[in-house]
């Protein structure tokens, strides 16, 4: 066990001392001891542009890589019955007021299981809940009219909306004789109700172009993106999937599902021809793999390296792991960070993890159930405000051991940045740290600490953090 630094159940006679902590009470020996333990690690070398782009007066934030906060506006097996678009619609204003800049929706088109499908088994990319197909008119989430109403509401609140794009595989086609397999396969999509993007066995592997690409999924027919018909209907045609979703349905960006199943060139071609923000689901903890894919795809990527490091750090009591490499450290403008999503929910100390991603670089995502059901919404709203108003500039890691982690955002263009202190131990802790502020009073913007310390002439100051908690310090203004 690490030696306990301070216990804040001190007798009342000492309370006033701690809550009036100032730089004038520092001793040379304490500062020397602190200096001997601190090794500042600068984890980014980009130009220091801000990673939040809003103002505290409007509550509206630009949604782009490294700016704003994204909400994953669904979870696995949301209630069926066609009311989910209306459910989300009713929350948009509150989310906007809280500082959410964008929402990510589940796949919006009709899939094989009709009204019961979560959309990841797509049949007709142009049936948004307006054709009687696969056993229903509406999708699990609602009608096309309700979807359009939701998108309109999102834009009215100066937010962006991202579509979940499933283009690795299809499902729900009719049986046909397949000359490439010598059997019948479920690859005839010429009868889709919308009449758009007709497909046959020639559009799926194996076919005249080869036996397979990077990967198949679940035994579903595997789209062959090298086929001209597939490219035309996905991203080239003005009435194809990408351009229709962007120009007619008014989506602002894309979350690409299971990008391990096809080459990065597919997303690159989509982005070059369609445009909009994009992020790929590349389920891999290897930073090199994530970074290479993001560069080749010209896309953001979910930071699974960060996710797994946070899980090991917060649940495994080893915050020093946060020193390790992550996608947001390689390229924060292409890193989308997250604590949980519809597929995986392993981190137990979620608020500590959110305090990490909402104060660090990258484009943080909040999971619907964490925000609306499972965690303290007020604390998340506070962290969103901190992200949008204080979390600017490059990052310097100031201290990390098993229980404690301290990092500094160095500010940008007049914004002072912040210092975040995360404590995974069971007692209050204190640390001397070096800020970028000289002779300046600071405070904890989470409200967990009542200290108002003043930094010294050499920018050093003592800060504190509650057990299993976090504090975020910046200039008191």
Annotated binding site for Ca(2+): 168
Q: What is the end-to-end Cα distance of the chain in Å, rounded?
A: 38
* Helix pair 304-315, 287-297: axis angle to 10 deg: 150
* HEC sequence for 296-346: HHCCEEECHHHHHHHHHHHHCCCHHHHHCCCHHHHCHHHEEEECCCCCCCC
Among 409, 427, 418, which residue's Cα sits nearest to residue 464? Answer: 427
Q: What does DSSP assign to residue 232? A: I
Of the residues 146, 164, 257, 303, which is catalytic? Answer: 257
257 is catalytic: yes
Of the residues 130, 176, 214, 281, which is catalytic? Answer: 281
- H runs (alpha helix) in 139-197: 144-156
315 is catalytic: no
For 85-193, where are the E strands, in sequence order? 102-104, 110-111, 122-124, 160-165, 174-178, 183-188
CB atoms within 10 A of CB 44: 18
CB atoms within 10 A of CB 219: 9
Among 307, 336, 271, which residue's Cα sits nearest to residue 102? Answer: 336
Q: Are 432 and 446 in contact (CB under 8 A)?
A: no
Which residue reads 């490219």 in tokens?
A: 231
Distance between alpha carbon 42 and the CA centroid of its chain, in Å? 23
Biggest CA–CA distance in the chain, Å, is: 87
Q: What does DSSP assign to residue 203? A: G
User: Which residues are bridge partners to 104 per DSSP?
Assistant: 72, 162
> How would you class 47 by CB atoms within 10 Å of its CB: exposed for 0-12, middle for 13-18, buried for 19 or more?
exposed
Known binding residues are 168
The pair of structure tokens assigned to 441 is: 């009073």
215 contacts: CB under 8 Å, gap ≥ 6: 168, 258, 260, 261, 262
The catalytic residues are: 257, 281
């Amino acid at each position: 066990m690490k030696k306990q630094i301070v216990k804040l159940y001190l007798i009342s006679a000492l309370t006033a001392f701690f809550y009036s902590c100032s730089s004038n009470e520092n001793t040379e020996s304490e500062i020397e001891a602190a200096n001997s333990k601190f090794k500042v690690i600068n984890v980014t070398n980009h130009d220091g542009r801000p990673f939040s782009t809003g103002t505290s007066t409007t509550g509206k934030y630009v949604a782009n890589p490294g700016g704003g906060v994204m909400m994953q506006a669904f979870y696995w097996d949301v209630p069926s019955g066609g009311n989910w678009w209306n459910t989300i619609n009713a929350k948009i204003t509150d989310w906007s007021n809280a500082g959410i800049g964008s929402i990510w929706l589940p796949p919006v088109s009709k899939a094989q299981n009709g009204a019961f499908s979560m959309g990841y088994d797509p049949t007709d990319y142009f049936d948004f809940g307006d054709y009687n197909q696969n056993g229903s008119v509406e999708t699990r989430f609602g009608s096309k009219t309700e979807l359009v109403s939701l998108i309109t509401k999102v834009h009215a609140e100066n937010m962006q909306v991202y579509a979940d794009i499933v283009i690795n595989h299809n499902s729900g086609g009719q049986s046909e004789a397949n000359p490439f397999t010598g059997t019948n396969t479920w690859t005839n999509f010429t009868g889709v109700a919308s009449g758009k993007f007709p497909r046959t066995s020639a559009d799926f592997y194996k076919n005249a172009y080869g036996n397979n690409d990077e990967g198949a999924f679940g035994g579903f027919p595997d789209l062959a993106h090298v086929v001209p018909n597939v490219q035309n209907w996905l991203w080239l045609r003005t009435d194809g999937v990408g351009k229709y979703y962007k120009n007619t349905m008014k989506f602002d960006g894309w979350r690409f599902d299971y990008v391990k199943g096809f080459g990065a060139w597919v997303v690159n071609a989509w982005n070059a021809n369609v445009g909009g923000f994009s992020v790929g689901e590349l389920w891999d903890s290897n930073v090199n793999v994530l970074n290479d894919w993001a560069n080749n795809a010209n896309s953001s990527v979910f930071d699974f390296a960060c996710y797994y490091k946070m899980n090991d750090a917060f649940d495994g009591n080893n915050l020093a792991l946060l020193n390790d490499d992550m996608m947001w450290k390689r390229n924060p403008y292409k890193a989308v960070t997250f604590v949980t999503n519809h597929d995986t929910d392993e981190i137990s100390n979620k608020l500590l993890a959110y305090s990490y991603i909402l104060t660090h670089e990258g484009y943080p995502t909040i999971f619907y159930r964490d925000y609306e059901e499972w965690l303290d919404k007020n604390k998340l709203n506070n962290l969103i405000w901190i992200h949008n108003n204080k979390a600017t500039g490059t990052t310097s890691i100031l201290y990390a051991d098993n229980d404690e982690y301290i990092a500094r955002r160095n500010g940008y263009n007049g914004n002072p940045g912040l210092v975040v202190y995360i404590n995974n131990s069971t007692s209050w802790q204190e640390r001397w740290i070096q800020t970028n502020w000289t002779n300046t009073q600071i405070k904890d913007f989470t409200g967990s600490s009542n200290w108002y310390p003043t930094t010294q002439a050499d920018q050093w100051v003592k800060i504190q953090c509650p057990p299993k908690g976090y504090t975020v310090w910046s200039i008191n203004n």
